[in-house]
Amino acid sequence: MGTLWSKGTSATQIVEDFTVGNDRVLDLRLAKHDVMGSKAHIKMLESIGLLEKEELETLTAGLDAILGEIERGEFVLGDDVEDIHSQVEFLLTQRFGEIGKKIHSGRSRNDQVLVDLKLFLREELEIIKDEVVALFDTLQALSEKHKNVLLPGYTHAQIAMPSSFGLWFGAYAEALVDDMHMLKGAYNVVNQNPLGSAAGYGSSFPLDRDMTTELLGFSTMNYNVVAAQLSRGKSEKAVASALSQLALTLNKFAADCCMYMCPNFGFIKFPDELTTGSSIMPHKKNPDVWEILRGICNRIQSLPNEISLMTTNMAHGYHRDYQLLKDVLFPGLEQMHKCLFMAKYMLENISVNEDILSDPKYKYLFTVEVVNNRVLEGMPFRDAYKSVGIEVNEGKFEFDANTGLNHTHKGSLGNLCTEEIKEKMKRLTKKSI
């Protein structure tokens, strides 16, 4: 079959294998989006007179047939076809003759792969949005369910002040709101139409770029054709940065769970089937799910840096290096889906220890409460602080945790602001992100 852009000479097989790399496998992820972009493109070509109405109908039917094959898992790349764009065009030419070749008028593989990627990334971000909201809802439900169960708070890994499971679960729910801002920002970068920029310098055909922008559901277009090509790498990095932010939240929560599951803490536990045992120690219940999740999220946090290094020192315009971005970003997206699913799945089976603070080693959690109580009784803060410190050092400090804690300000133990946080997330996700 050869390549569509062949000028009569062929690269040696060893060069072709090296330059194509893993692209053929990764391109299958873009197949649906390539067909969608082509359908919009040919409809626009017909509107400006570059296709006859009958040709448009034939090609549209052909693309719909290919889309069906993709959805049924029947679509494959031929052994001698380099990429998804070539495969779709070859199939149309094979099935309908010369009109199949007209599908490429007014565009380049450069803007074709860009529109495929943007449609793909837009869809991936929508899926991740839904997964984040599902995890957010789970965390908020757990926060409300266990809002009165106290938990030690730590600073510098030292016992600090009283916290609660309501605060802990709720904190990670609100952290996901921040992550949603990043996802929304990445979506806005991606959601711009590059189709019509061709190889980066436009076309002498009177392309109707407004039409393809509307047909493909983009909110706007990359107007400047050179800027459209500059978005390659920038779009991937924007998505990677959003994933990295989300991975940081999941990573810290996983680290908490690993620590809290340790018998030295004993704050939370999971059913035996969600933990793993030791090959030699029969008592072990290892937090392997959280450890793997923690490790994967560390890898995801490296994506923006890897993409930055891959896309630096290149002048404007297309460079083959950009092909390698798929090797980095696509697996990262797949791993993020898995991490969000597993985090939610584990939380649906979590049990919390409701009697943690009865252990006397946690009595110093309440030193600040005693200081504040003395301030309320009229003692200056510095004097109250000093007096309690002396009592701690002399072993005379006592506090009855059953007397209750007077935390009422917004966001504190007694006022979690669950509904306000829910409203923040709702405002961010009421439409497409």
Helices (H) and strands (E) in the chain, counts: 15, 6
Whether 40 is in a domain gets the answer yes
Mean pLDDT of 154-178: 95
**Would you state the structure tokens that stand for residue 153, as one six-digit string?**
């708070």
pLDDT at 330 over 80: yes
Mean pLDDT of 169-173: 98
What pLDDT is recorded for position 393?
85
Q: What is the pLDDT of residues 54-113, one digit of tens each?
A: 999 999 999 999 999 999 999 988 877 778 888 999 999 999 999 999 999 999 989 999
In terms of C-beta density within 10 A (0-12 exposed, 13-18 middle, 19 or more buried), how is residue 368 classed?
middle
For residues 95 and 31, membership in a common domain is answered with: yes
pLDDT at 44 over 50: yes
Q: Last residue of a domain, which of 297, 318, 352? A: 352
For residues 70 and 219, membership in a common domain is answered with: no
Q: What is the mean pLDDT of the chain?
A: 90
What pLDDT is recorded for position 422?
97
Strand 192-193 versus strand 220-221 pairing type: parallel
Domain containing residue 338: CATH number: 1.20.200.10
pLDDT at 395 over 90: no
Whether 383 is in a domain gets the answer no
226 or 15, which is more confident: 226
For residues 29 and 69, membership in a common domain is answered with: yes
Whether 361 is in a domain gets the answer no
pLDDT at 397 over 90: no
Whether 372 is in a domain gets the answer no
In terms of C-beta density within 10 A (0-12 exposed, 13-18 middle, 19 or more buried), how is residue 208 classed?
middle
- Of 27, 30, 42, 44, nearest in space to 100 by CA: 42
Looking at the 3D structure of the chain, how many domains does it have? 2
Mean pLDDT of 49-56: 96
**Would you state the structure tokens that stand for residue 282, as one six-digit string?**
């029969």
| Percent of the chain whose predicted confidence (pLDDT) is above 90 | 69
The pLDDT-based confidence of 134 (bands split at 50, 70, 90) is very high
What pLDDT is recorded for position 27?
82
For residues 64 and 193, membership in a common domain is answered with: no
pLDDT at 4 over 80: no
Q: Last residue of a domain, which of 352, 371, 398? A: 352
Q: Last residue of a domain, which of 71, 104, 137? A: 104
Please report where in the chains the tokens 């590059």 appear, as a residue.
194
What pLDDT is recorded for position 172?
98
For residues 68 and 128, membership in a common domain is answered with: no
Whether 407 is in a domain gets the answer no
In terms of C-beta density within 10 A (0-12 exposed, 13-18 middle, 19 or more buried), how is residue 230 classed?
middle
For residues 133 and 19, membership in a common domain is answered with: no
366 or 256, which is more confident: 256
Whether 221 is in a domain gets the answer yes
For residues 187 and 328, membership in a common domain is answered with: yes
- Of 139, 197, 222, nearest in space to 173 by CA: 139
For residues 96 and 171, membership in a common domain is answered with: no
Mean pLDDT of 127-145: 98
| Nearest-angstrom CA–CA distance, 339 and 343 | 6
Whether 118 is in a domain gets the answer yes
The pLDDT-based confidence of 211 (bands split at 50, 70, 90) is very high
Q: What is the pLDDT of residues 253-301, one digit of tens each?
A: 999 999 999 999 999 999 988 887 655 665 667 899 999 999 999 999 9
What pLDDT is recorded for position 135?
98
Instruction: Quickly list DSSP for 151-220.
Output: EEEEETTEEEEEEEHHHHHHHHHHHHHHHHHHHHHHHHHHSEE-TT-TTTT--SS---HHHHHHHTT-SE
The pLDDT-based confidence of 365 (bands split at 50, 70, 90) is confident
Mean pLDDT of 131-145: 98
For residues 131 and 150, membership in a common domain is answered with: yes
Q: What is the pLDDT of residues 338-356, one digit of tens each?
A: 999 999 999 999 999 999 9
For residues 123 and 219, membership in a common domain is answered with: yes
Whether 367 is in a domain gets the answer no
Residue 118 domain boundaries: 109-352
What pLDDT is recorded for position 10?
62
Domain containing residue 94: CATH number: 1.10.275.10
201 or 11, which is more confident: 201
For residues 216 and 273, membership in a common domain is answered with: yes
H-run or E-run covering 316: none
For residues 85 and 147, membership in a common domain is answered with: no
Q: What is the pLDDT of residues 373-386, one digit of tens each?
A: 888 889 999 989 89
